[in-house]
């Protein structure tokens, strides 16, 4: 389905990801990024406007979809920080060990096929004193919502670029070796509960 995946889906994802409730969480999280930043699954570049140019050297923007990279054109043109493209999936981060100060991960873990491997790659490239900033939707705490997340995921991921509704985000981070330093979670306003349960915060690598 190249037309759907490369033209229609990038438009759907760009529109959804630029919604106001997402913007409010981006505003809290993204200004915490410092130094050399790696953003995994940049999508249409909705985070770019929130970087603090005084604190960030540049951002490696990793994004495997050509359609999403095209959708990011306008946000890149207006970006306050320099962008360096990495045209690869998160499972194959082409950077050296301990070379990144901040990894940024927003609404992407749901779509990465081998998310455990991708998280291990992020752990590998992060400096010992570096941080991972995350904002990801995943398994809800209510069993009734979880039931729908499990039921809907097989069909949902076929039309939404591989998006899983039911990933246990904190457990996945810890399994890859991250220590969660701060975490908050909430149902996003104006989104159905099965897709809107969001975890956001900061993690570091185990020393
Ligand atoms: C819902 S969008 C989120 C985009 C962006 N991070 C944001 O906050 O708006 C999910 C993104 O993950 C990307 N993606 C899918 N598989 C990936 C993979 N294996 N590695 C990295 N990114 C991937 C998709 O192309 C898409 O741009």
Question: Whose alpha carbon is nearest atom 13 of ligand 1?
Answer: 41
Q: Write down the domain spans for the chain.
A: 2-205
Residue nearest to atom 8 of ligand 1 (CA): 106
For position 207, what pLDDT does the model report?
62
What digits encode the pLDDT tens for the residues 41-60?
A: 999 999 999 999 999 999 99
Q: Which CATH number fits domain 2-205: 2.40.50.140, 3.40.1410.10, 3.40.50.150, 3.40.50.1010?
A: 3.40.50.150
CA distances from 129 to 17, 34, 100, 125 (A): 30, 12, 10, 12
Question: pTM of the entire structure?
Answer: 0.97
Buried/exposed 47-66: b ≥16 CB within 10 Å, e otherwise: bbebbeeeebeebbbbbbbe
Q: What is the DSSP letter of 188?
A: P
pLDDT over threshold 80, residue 1: no
Task: Check whether 177 has a pLDDT greater than 90.
Answer: yes
Nearest CA to ligand 1 atom 1: 107
Ligand 1 binding residues, C-beta < 6 A = 13, 17, 40-43, 46-47, 62-65, 68, 89-91, 106-108, 111-113, 118, 161
86 alpha carbon – ligand 1 mean position (Å):
13
């Amino acid at each position: 389905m190249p037309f759907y995946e490369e033209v229609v889906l990038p438009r759907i994802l760009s529109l959804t990801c630029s919604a106001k409730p997402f913007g409010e969480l981006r505003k809290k999280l993204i200004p915490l990024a410092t130094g050399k930043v790696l953003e995994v699954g940049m999508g249409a570049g909705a985070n770019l406007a929130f970087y603090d140019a005084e604190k960030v050297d540049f951002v490696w923007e990793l994004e495997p979809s050509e359609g999403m990279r095209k959708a990011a054109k306008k946000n890149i043109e207006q970006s306050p920080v320099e962008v360096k493209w990495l045209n690869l999936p998160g499972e194959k981060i082409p950077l050296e060990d301990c070379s990144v100060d901040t990894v940024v991960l927003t609404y992407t873990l749901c779509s990465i096929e081998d998310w455990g491997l991708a998280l291990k790659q992020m752990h590998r490239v992060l400096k010992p004193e570096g941080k991972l900033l995350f904002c990801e939707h995943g398994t809800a705490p209510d069993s009734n919502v979880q039931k729908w997340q499990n039921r809907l995921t097989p069909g949902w991921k076929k039309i939404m670029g591989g998006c899983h509704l039911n990933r246990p985000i904190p457990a996945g981070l810890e399994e890859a070796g991250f220590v969660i330093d701060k975490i908050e979670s909430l149902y996003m306003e104006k989104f159905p509960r099965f897709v809107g349960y969001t975890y956001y915060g900061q993690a570091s690598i185990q020393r």
